[in-house]
Structure 1
Amino acid sequence: MKKPYYLILIVLGISLLVFGVIVYRNTDSTEEFRIERAELFDRLSNSKGYAYATLKYPSELLIKEEAVISLEIMPDKNLKNILEHGVAIDTLISPKRLVLSSERRQLEAVNASGTTVSWRIEATRLGTSSATVSLGLSDLRTDITIYPITPQHTFQINIPVVETKSKASFGEYIGPIMIAVGSLSLLAGFVIASKDFDKATKQSRKKNKR
């Protein structure tokens, strides 16, 4: 195969990779869960540490379907150094059009390996249900029956309640397919280029020997 062919494969591969990434990022995917993140600064001491909060919730629900909204708290190195003093995560959920079977407000100790707070919900009516999840770092000795929560961050989430759940469309696969084909095209182009250069090098050596 002549050199222009491997150049075409390489250019084609790069183009497919670039456009594949663009298509993938701009295509709404059908996912079972959605994830949102936030960072909470340690306001209780001078540790200069952070806690990384990850909220996971269902993207949609059927009527009468039960699900879990979970919040994972992961401390960084600085915050881990003061966990023994009773660092806690204070949380409060306020659902709308959802039945909650867990405690609305929860105070849990932050562990070095991570802490998970969860709420069990049930969908009751068609339409868009929602929930507000407030959270903040606190002291484990805080009496949540007396003191109100002082949130550092608030998640606002929407959970559609539907008759039938969404299925993945063909459009969601276009981006990954373009990326895969582009990668193969690049690989083929470089392999062919390597072989062509090896042949050219060998021919050049033969001519020099003559």
Structure 2
Amino acid sequence: MSLENIKGSYDAIFSLGDLCLTSIQLEKNNLRPFSGPLDWMASPSLKDVSRLLQNRFSGFMELPNLAVRGYGAVDNFLVIDEAYNIVSNHDFATDKNTLSHLATYPEVKEKFNRRIRRFLEKMNTSQRVLFIRTEGTFEEILELELILSGIVKNDFRILLVNHSSVNGIIEKNWPLKRVCAIELPNDNIWNNDRYWKMILSEVSLNI
């Protein structure tokens, strides 16, 4: 699938990690009216993300699975969900929590529950959904496509953005029905706004 096939309107667009990058770019391009379950999280393993989706988020961010690993983003603790290897950098403020006690856990968990409920509802009611993931192999994205096929009721597309030693936007000709895989320059992944704007310029939301 080419970038041409990504164009068009969607009822929902979700980031599937692996960093905050996708959420930031969706926000900059006015394509993020609400938060998804993996927004502002670090999810380095796409296989773990696929497992999370296959499990319909069962056990995600449950307190027994959480471990505080130190300090993360400004004024927040770095907390990892060890069941899925997904990291929170922005949810547990240092002025309300400690390294040994996550006092705000109940409200943080309810926030994730709301996002999960919305995500699963959109999977059932949307006519067309776009998922965007940064970093993944052919085998990993093939597994993701298969799992999403069992979750999404109607049509969906996956945009995979890998970063490598390239100049500009490079489209990969992967033989996958619902996946467009591209490469972007890896010299400064946080400074590729012009490429993301080109990629998303003809993508819109039905809102």
User: Is this a same-fold pair by TM over 0.5?
Assistant: no
Q: TM-score, normalised by structure 2?
A: 0.26
Say which one has the larger Rg.
1
